[in-house]
Structure 1
């Protein structure tokens, strides 16, 4: 595909003369200097094009395939005499910043190849957490642990997904299922330092240093990483505070308060929709459970899940409310997706842990 450039030369000459005529009528001041700069730049560009196209007066455009377009100056392609502009074979990856379809085969393969760590087989390397708050004594963890045992202790090993996995052990909703009952699953933790600690635990499940997207397409997002200040009195609660890290687009009042109270740093993280993980792991059913501890982003994530295309039997959701009573609007929004509230626990800071089970199909 080629285009003749003779008209461009005529147009270029007209523009150059117009600029020149304008310049000579002006006094030597800032405005005249600006016009002179424009005249010099335009004339240079025009002359370069004229010199290159003098060999044939053509600009050619060539389609080298679905992922590469070649543009060159001159009647035909020559690596020695022209510049090139085109999209490389990997240019689609830039669209991972958003938007690109969640089930696009390239996105699914990219997640599978670049962002999924396969289950390990080495012995567990769990932490005794000396000089740390004992999470086993926390009301929220005890409530969830008891409910999880009630729901799953007699079930065959299944597949879990836990988002907001921290270091893979502290406050984990899934470690007991994996270690004692032979389950496997996927741990998602976007905080790089927390994820590095997670890898050291040798969990026998998949893991990913990414995050659930708040959109139905993959997107890069800013993670505000909350941590203790050096030698602060709160250092005993390091993992509790780190668990408050949040995606800025999903932040609510409680998260913004945490950021002001503690030390914050930032990272740009790659996020994928729920469906992309589902496809990358070739799942047919997450029997129990999907656990979301995502600091205010749970509703946005739930809105991205194609409920008619996946089968999730149990939801464990952390949700910030405004009182010790259940958030009825939140509960109704989940129940409308075909779930029943199984149990809940709300602490003194109005942070609620909700467990939903899928209604039996009739």
Structure 2
């Protein structure tokens, strides 16, 4: 026999359910806001490495942190450019102590301690989708370290600003174009920065660089010359820029673990990757632009996978402005 309930009973039941849902949501939201406030949040250091925390996931506001300090000893009377030219000519190895010291003392700029001056200060995510994907695959870790090569002006399309503002990561911004770098410095990023390019060789070298805002690139071979000719509305505007191997710059910072490496340098990505001693650097995740290199997507993918990585995702934007592959180290545990 079917039991019939009065209509009022259904209404009362619905109200009770709504009230329970509201209190459950309010309790969890309040808990997250209290625990994860910018001033009071303390990471759970007792949790095992790789521990997934829903609270950490919901930390989506800017947090304050003190960037790491790397002592340098700059001597104003030392002609470091002449010394650098000698090392370029000698093609010194990536781990040459003199090279490491000069990079640390004369080329790397320290993180800013001033407040951000961003065009969009209220935003937390500035990338084209790469950042939230990497964040989730790294289990929302705090206090990591990033490298962004092709950092542009430090804000537009940045794949790393979220990690700095929200996850309190230290990092390194690499930008070769001095015009872009000048603007980058005004943003007051809480990261080390260097106005140089990543070398496509396993030694430092001075190269010709064609400026072009987000289309600037090394211009020292036939491949690059043809690429610049094909690019619409891109005039020839060359300067001389110092390049360093990525490994050398990281040694100068005493940093051999990189949680996230963003590589977008308009065509020389493969050449830079070939210089990296993956047995000496622990790079956990990478996003690499693939569209401008002559080697092609599959060659790039195969090379990185041969170094012990899985290809997780290909990111492309409808207008062709983004063409990245995201890689993660095999067997990665955080």
**TM-score higher than 0.5:** yes
Answer yes or no: is the 8 Å Cα contact 1:246–1:294 preserved in 2: yes
Distance 2:236 2:133 in 1: 33
Instruction: Indicate the residue corresponding to 2:175 in structure 1.
Output: 189
In 2, the alpha carbon distance for the partners of 1:198 and 1:90 equals 23
Q: Which residue does 1:270 correspond to in 2?
A: 242
Residue 118 of structure 2 corresponds to residue 145 of structure 1: no
The within-5 A match list for 1:93-172 is 93-98=84-89, 99-128=91-120, 141-152=127-138, 154-172=140-158
1 CA distance for matches of 2:142 and 2:170?
11
Residue 280 of structure 2 aligns with which residue? 309
Deviation at residue 166 of structure 1 after TM alignment: 0.6
Query: Per the alignment, do residues 180 and 104 of structure 1 end up closer, same or farther by CA in structure 2, a change over 3 Å counting?
Result: same
Contact (CA 8 Å) 1:321, 1:327: kept in 2 or not? Answer: no
- Which protein has the larger Cα radius of gyration, Structure 1 or Structure 2? 1
Structure 1 gap segments, 5+ residues each:
1-87, 227-241
Distance between the aligned counterparts of 2:249 and 2:257, measured in 1?
A: 12
Alignment partner, residue 38 of structure 1: none
Q: Return the TM-score normalized by structure 2.
A: 0.68
Out of 174, 195, 202, the residue aligned to residue 160 of structure 2 is: 174
Cα distance change, pair 192–90 in 1 and its aligned pair in 2 (3 A): closer
Distance 1:302 1:109 in 2: 23
Q: Partner of 2:323 in structure 1?
A: 352
Say yes or no: does 1:205 pair with 2:176. no
Distance 1:256 1:168 in 2: 27
2:36 is matched with: none
Hey, what's the Cα distance between the residues in 2 that align with 1:337 and 1:345? 21
Q: Which runs of 5+ in 2 are unaligned?
A: 1-78
Partner of 1:332 in structure 2?
Answer: 302
Considering only aligned residues, what root-mean-square deviation do their CA atoms show, in Å? 2.7
User: 2:80 and 2:297 mapped to 1: Cα distance?
Assistant: 49
Query: In structure 2, what is the equivalent of residue 57 of structure 1?
Result: none
- 251, 259, 272: which is aligned to 1:279? 251
Superposed CA deviations along residues 126-179 of structure 1, whole A, max 9, x for unmatched, are: 0149xxxx9x89xxx432133133224621220000000011011100001101
8 Å contact from structure 1 (residues 319, 351) kept in 2: no
Task: Say whether the 8 Å CA contact 1:163–1:189 is kept in structure 2.
Answer: yes
In structure 2, distance between residues paired with 1:301 and 1:89:
25
Is the Cα–Cα contact under 8 Å of residues 135 and 141 in structure 2 kept in the other structure?
A: no
How far the C-alpha of 1:350 sits from its partner, in A, is: 8.6
Would you tell me which structure has more helix in proportion to its own residues?
Answer: 1
Is the contact between residue 293 and residue 317 of structure 1 (CA under 8 Å) also seen in structure 2?
A: yes
Correspondence list, 1:9-28, <5 A: none
- Aligned-partner Cα distance in 1 for 2:274–2:80: 33
Provide the rounded CA distance (Å) in 2 between the counterparts of 1:328 and 1:94: 37
- Separation of aligned partners in 2, 1:128 and 1:345: 24
Cα 1:175–1:263 shift into 2, 3 Å: same
Per the alignment, residue 37 of structure 1 pairs with none
Contact 2:146–2:260, Cα closer than 8 Å, also in 1: yes
Greater relative contact order (CA < 8 Å, ≥ 6 in sequence): 2
- In 1, are the aligned partners of 2:159 and 2:262 still within 8 Å (CA)? yes
Aligned to 2:240, the other structure's residue is in SS state: strand
What is the deviation of 1:361?
A: 7.2
Kept in 2: contact 1:215–1:304 (CA 8 A) = yes
